C-alpha cells in the first residue's frame, strides 16, 4: 500500500521555473539547465521503478520522497527516495537513473559512469549513500522511540540499458545493487530472511504515521543556491508555444503577440513561477511588475477570479500564492 505518494519534487519545479526565467545568455543558465536535467532524469527513473514497487503486497507500506531530521534539533536532514515498511523489516531504496557503463567502487566512495563516446563522469557512491541513510533511519527510529526494525538497503538502477559492474571483494557490495525489474524478487528473498514479524500491522502504520509527521519538504529558496537575485529573472507572462514574453491578457485568456497563439493558463504559470522563485506572498504592485500587467483593474479582476486568499486591504493588500491551489487550477 502506498502510504506517501510520489509527486514531482518542489526542487525540480523550482529548477524548471528557473530555466523558464533565465535568459539564454545568462552566465548561470547552463549550470541550472544541467541540474534541472539531472533532477528530471532522477524523477523519471523513480517513476519507472515505482511501477514495480506499487505491485508489492498490500501489507507493505511504501513511503516516497521522505526528508527527515537527522538530529533532535532539526538542523540537518536526510532524504530517502523510497522506503518500504514490512512487519519484519524496513527497506531503504535509492533509485538511480544513469545510463552507460556504471562501475560502483564503494571502497573509493565513487561511481564511475562511462558514456558511449568514451568520456567518464564520477559521482558519489550510492551504495555508501544508501547505507548512511539506513543508519540515519535507525538513529531516527531510536530518538523517536519507534520499535527497532531491521533495516536493509538497496541501490536500484532504473535504466534498463545501463551496464552494472561492482568492483569490490565484499559480496555485500555486489548484493547492494539491483536493477529495478528485480525489486519484487529481492523483496521475496528478504521476506524469507526476516520471517519473524517484529511489528503488528497497526504498529507498522504508527511508524509510517510518525515518519510522515516528521517529514519536512525542502522549501528553502533556490535563487541563493545559484547566487541569483529576482532582478536576474525575466519578467512577463511566457507563451508556451514560442517561449516569448509577448503575451497579454485578452478576454478570458491570453494572446501571444508574436505567434498569435491563444492560451488559457499562461498567466497562472507566471504566478506559479513567482511563488516558486521569489515569494509565496506578493502585493498587487509586485505582481503587476512581474507579470508586466498594464491595467491595474484587469490584474485585480483576474486575481480575484483565481480565488486567492489575501491579507490587508487596498494598497497594503498581500496575496497568498498558495502553490497547491495554483497547481490544482
Binding site for Zn ion (CB under 5 A): 239, 241-242, 256, 258-259, 261
Degrees to nearest 5, angle at CA 156 with 151 and 158 = 155
Min CB(244)–Zn ion separation in Å? 5
Sheet containing strand 101-105, edge to edge, reads 120-124, 110-114, 101-105, 163-166
Q: Does residue 10 contact residue 219 with C-beta atoms inside 8 Å?
A: yes
Min CB(241)–Zn ion separation in Å? 5
How many angstroms from the chain centroid is the CA of residue 247?
30
Q: Kindly tell me which of 115 and 258 has the beta carbon lying closer to Zn ion.
A: 258
Min CB(231)–Zn ion separation in Å? 25
Phi, psi of 236, deg, nearest 5: 110, 180
Q: Kindly tell me which of 140 and 256 has the beta carbon lying closer to Zn ion.
A: 256
CA distance 138 to 70: 10
Q: Kindly tell me which of 214 and 241 has the beta carbon lying closer to Zn ion.
A: 241
Min CB(248)–Zn ion separation in Å? 11
Min CB(238)–Zn ion separation in Å? 9
Look up residue 329 and give its three cell numbers: 487550477
Q: Kindly tell me which of 258 and 280 has the beta carbon lying closer to Zn ion.
A: 258
How many angstroms from the chain centroid is the CA of residue 250?
35
Min CB(201)–Zn ion separation in Å? 54
Q: Kindly tell me which of 211 and 270 has the beta carbon lying closer to Zn ion.
A: 270
Q: Kindly tell me which of 103 and 242 has the beta carbon lying closer to Zn ion.
A: 242
Q: Kindly tell me which of 40 and 242 has the beta carbon lying closer to Zn ion.
A: 242
Q: Does residue 92 contact residue 132 with C-beta atoms inside 8 Å?
A: no
Q: Kindly tell me which of 132 and 292 has the beta carbon lying closer to Zn ion.
A: 292
- Scanning the structure block, which residue is given the C-alpha cell 538497503? 153
Min CB(273)–Zn ion separation in Å? 17
CB-CB neighbours of 315 under 10 Å: 8
Q: Kindly tell me which of 241 and 268 has the beta carbon lying closer to Zn ion.
A: 241
Min CB(256)–Zn ion separation in Å? 3
Min CB(24)–Zn ion separation in Å? 16
Amino acid at each position: 500500500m502506498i502510504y506517501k505518494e510520489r509527486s514531482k519534487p518542489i526542487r525540480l519545479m523550482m529548477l524548471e521555473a528557473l530555466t523558464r526565467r533565465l535568459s539564454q545568455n545568462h552566465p548561470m543558465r547552463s549550470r541550472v539547465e544541467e541540474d534541472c536535467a539531472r533532477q528530471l532524469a532522477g524523477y523519471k527513473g523513480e517513476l519507472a521503478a515505482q511501477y514495480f514497487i506499487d505491485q508489492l503486497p498490500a501489507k507493505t507500506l511504501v513511503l516516497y520522497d521522505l526528508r527527515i531530521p537527522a538530529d533532535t534539533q532539526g538542523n540537518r536532514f536526510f532524504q530517502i527516495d523510497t522506503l518500504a515498511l514490512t512487519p519484519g523489516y524496513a527497506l531503504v531504496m535509492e533509485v538511480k537513473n544513469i545510463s552507460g557503463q556504471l562501475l560502483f567502487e564503494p571502497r573509493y566512495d565513487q561511481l564511475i559512469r562511462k558514456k558511449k563516446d568514451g568520456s567518464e563522469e564520477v559521482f558519489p557512491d550510492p551504495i555508501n549513500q544508501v547505507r548512511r541513510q539506513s543508519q540515519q533511519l535507525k538513529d531516527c527510529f531510536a530518538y523517536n522511540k519507534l520499535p527497532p526494525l531491521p533495516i536493509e538497503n538497496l541501490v536500484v538502477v532504473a535504466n534498463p540499458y545501463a551496464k552494472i559492474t561492482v568492483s569490490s571483494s565484499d559480496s555485500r557490495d555486489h548484493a547492494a545493487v539491483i536493477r529495478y525489474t528485480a525489486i519484487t524478487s529481492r523483496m521475496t528473498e528478504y521476506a524469507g530472511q526476516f520471517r519473524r514479524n517484529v511489528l503488528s500491522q497497526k504498529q507498522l502504520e504508527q511508524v509510517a504515521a510518525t515518519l510522515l509527521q516528521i517529514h519536512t519538504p525542502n522549501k528553502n529558496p533556490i535563487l541563493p543556491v545559484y547566487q541569483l537575485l529576482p532582478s536576474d529573472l525575466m519578467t512577463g507572462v511566457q507563451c508556451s508555444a514560442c517561449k516569448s514574453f509577448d503575451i497579454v491578457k485578452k478576454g478570458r485568456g491570453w494572446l501571444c503577440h508574436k505567434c498569435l497563439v491563444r492560451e488559457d493558463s499562461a498567466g497562472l504559470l507566471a504566478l506559479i513561477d513567482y511563488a516558486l522563485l521569489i515569494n509565496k506572498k506578493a502585493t498587487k504592485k509586485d505582481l503587476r511588475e512581474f507579470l508586466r500587467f498594464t491595467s491595474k483593474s484587469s490584474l485585480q479582476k483576474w486575481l480575484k477570479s483565481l480565488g486567492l486568499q489575501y491579507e490587508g486591504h487596498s494598497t497594503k493588500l498581500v496575496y497568498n500564492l498558495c502553490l497547491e491551489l495554483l497547481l490544482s487550477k
